[in-house]
Every structure is written in C-alpha cells, then in structure tokens.
Chains A and B, each alone.
Chain A
Amino acid sequence: MDNRVKDNRAWLGVLPVLLIVAFSGIIPLMTVVNYSFQDILDFNNRFFVGFQWYSQTLNDPRFIEAFGRQLLFTGSVLVIEIPLGIMIAKGMPRQGKKATAILLFLAVPLLIPSNVVGTIWQLFARPDIGLMGVSLNYLGWSFNYTASASQAWFTLLAMDVWHWTSLVALLSYSGLRSIPDPYYQAAQLDGASQWQTFRWVELPKLKSVLIIATLLRLMDSFMIYTEPLVLTGGGPGSSTTFLSQHLATMAVGQFDLGPAAAFSVIYFLFILLFCWFFYTMVMSESD
C-alpha cells in the first residue's frame, strides 16, 4: 500500500522561515565566502587572491594560539559544568515548594545579559574594591586577575560556571524527574548502591538530555565573546583572547575583510562539525 502523502502543499507554510533564514543566514554567509577569496580595498577595487587568506590564517600563530585557548576554555567549561550541573540536580528535592524556590533561584543567572555578567564579575573580582578580589587577598592569595594570566582564566571560568551551570542543572533536573519511580524501586530491591543507581538507572535515562546540554554549552562557550571582552578585554597580553575576539579585532578593528572572512569560514566549519557530531549522536539515540 502506498502511504505517501499526495498533497504536500503544507510545505509552503515553511516558505516565510526559509526567506528569513536566507536573509539572516544564507546570504550573509555566501557574502563572507565571496569576501574570503578577495583582497577588498574598497567596492571598486577588489582582487581575486584564491586561497591565500585561508593559508595565511591557518599558518598564523595568533590564530593557532586563539584556537588552542578556545578548545581549552570550552573543554574546561564542559568538564566543570556538566558534572556540577548533574550534582546540583541530584541534590534538589523532587517536588514541593523548596524545589520551586530552587528552580527559580537557579534561573536567575540565565536571565542576566552577558555584558552585565561581565561587568558584575569585573567589579566582583577587582583586587581593590571587589568582594571576591579583596576576600582572596585577605586570605593570603595575592589575587589580581588583570596582571596574572592564570588568575584571569580562573576568574573567567568561575564567571562562566556561575552563569551557565544552572542550565545544565535545570536540564538534568527535568531528565531526572522524568524517570518513573518503579525504576528506583527495582534498583532498591536489587540492593543497588547510590552510585550503581546513578550509573545504571539515572545516567542512561539522562543521556539525551545531557547530549543537548553538552551541545548547548559547547556551542555557546566556543562562540563566547562578550563576557571575556568586558571582564579581561582578552588580556593580560592575549592570554584570554578567544577566536571571536580575535576575529572582531580583524574584521571591525583593522577592517581586514578578506582575512577576517576566511577566518569566519574556518570558524563556521568547526562549529558546523560540532553541530553535525551532536546531531548524529541525538539521532542515533532516537533510533
């Protein structure tokens, strides 16, 4: 029997979305690809340069260093935030007023715009007037994130963990709440320890939710721009200059349109690769 739908006119309803995506995503992306193969002096003076900007970018030590820093930052963020988010979710009450209050409390950092988060932490970590900076100095740690690269990283990671762990916790909490009670009862009857219950009952059920949480955090941390810019300005030196900030300096600061476009295309390809990887994981999970 042929089950195929004969009338596909409903697909026309997708056209407005296609138009919006074309104008906001596809056409600008095509333009960037066009720019990446040219040396653009102005609109009347542009020259085809082939893959020159690509080879220059890929062999540029500043790009390689920024890429390494970006991978380290994203890796650190994931290693800290995912387990911490799960732990917070596991520590939360299953229901009742307390659970609601904690959920609301957790949602607060997520509601604050990135530039405000950067400003809050810039003030909070200042060694002269900031609560964290002054406290750490009082405790004997000579803390000044504007002068030390490792302390700038520490502050940056602390800020990101403060800002985004709630997201992982909320997603994990929703995943944990969707596990029916009989699973726990069965584990209890089998004499499973807390760790075994987590490993063999909760973790498999959390897998899809955790893939989504990891994807969201990976993408967001890989594209981070505003918070480091406000907090450290990429410094001290270039120790916290990530890809997006390096790109912005090239494109907006120096107006190097060709190299910046090649940089953008390379950056975009890596993000596309991550997206595809997680999409494949989610799809194989649902299969």
Chain B
Amino acid sequence: MIWMAWITPTAIFFATIAALLLGLVILELLRPTEKRRGFLKLKTTRGDRVFISLLSTAFIHLLAVAVFPTSIWLGSLAAIAWAILVLTWG
C-alpha cells in the first residue's frame, strides 16, 4: 500500500485507535456502559468520553504545535493528563 504512504508513527497511532475501539467493544460486552454526568456537565457514555478525550487531545496538540513548534512533549503530557481526567471524571 505504497499509495497510502505509511510510516511507523502514523501506523502506531492508527493501531492504537483501532485497539481502543476493539477494547471498547469488549468492555461493552463485559460491562455495558451507563450514561452518567461528570464535570463536563454532559450525559455521556464510555464511548462519548473516549471520543471527547480524543478530539480534545487533538486540539491540545494543535495548540502546542502552534505555540511551541520545536517540541511536542509538553502538549502530549497535557493532552494525556486531560484525557485521563475526562475518561475518569468526565
């Protein structure tokens, strides 16, 4: 699949997303999710929280890349911390 121009970092990224989705399916079969209201003040399922954390981490990375073009790690750390916060108490 040369036309897709795969590289290792993006392959790892998409494999992680796929594993996350698969994990959600398995978790849903074992322990079906229930809607709850956390600090986001929204009624969310487990999948909703994963989507919100993925989308918001993407924006945190964009902000980090725009402000600190030389290093991504600060943005990544902030994004991971935020994702954990949303997944746990969101």
Spell out A's residues near B (CB within 8 Å): 27, 30-31, 33-35, 37-38, 40, 43, 46, 48, 50-52, 54-55, 58-59, 266, 269, 272-273, 276, 280, 284, 287
Contacts and interface: CB of A to CB of B under 8 A. Distances in A.
Contacts of A280: 42
Contact of A34 (B5, B69, B72): B5
A269 B7 contact: no
Given A27-B4, A34-B10, A269-B55, A55 B42 contact: no
Given A37-B9, A54-B65, A30 B3 contact: no
Contacts of A266: 62
Q: Which of B9, B59, B65 has the most CB of A within 10 A?
A: B65
B51 interface: yes
A58 B43 contact: no
Give the contact-size bracket for chain B. 20 to 34
Contact of A287 (B5, B43, B65, B66): B43
Contacts of A272: 55
Given A31-B3, A273-B55, A284-B43, A58 B10 contact: no
B39 interface: no
B50 to A, nearest CB: 12
B59 to A, nearest CB: 7
A37 B7 contact: yes
Nearest to B6: A34
- What 8 pairs across the A-B complex have the smallest Cβ distances? A55-B69, A58-B66, A34-B5, A54-B65, A51-B65, A55-B65, A31-B4, A34-B10
B80 interface: no
Given A30-B10, A38-B5, A58-B62, 15 more contacts: A33-B14, A34-B7, A37-B7, A43-B2, A43-B5, A48-B7, A50-B72, A54-B62, A54-B65, A55-B66, A269-B59, A269-B62, A273-B59, A276-B51, A280-B42
Interface string B44-75: 00000001100100110110011001001000
A88 B79 CA distance: 46
A269 B4 contact: no
B5 A35 contact: yes
Contacts of B69: 51-52, 55, 59
Given A51-B65, A54-B62, A58-B62, A30 B4 contact: yes
B5 A48 contact: no
A46 B42 contact: no
A59 B66 contact: yes
Contacts of B61: 51
A276 B55 contact: yes
12 contacts: A30-B10, A33-B13, A34-B7, A37-B9, A43-B2, A43-B5, A46-B5, A50-B72, A51-B69, A269-B58, A273-B59, A280-B42
A216 B14 CA distance: 29
Contacts of A54: 62, 65-66
A234 to B, nearest CB: 25
A255 to B, nearest CB: 15
B74 to A, nearest CB: 12
Nearest to B4: A31
Contacts of B3: 31, 43
Q: Which of B5, B55, B58 has the most CB of A within 10 A?
A: B5
Contacts of A46: 5
Nearest to B52: A276
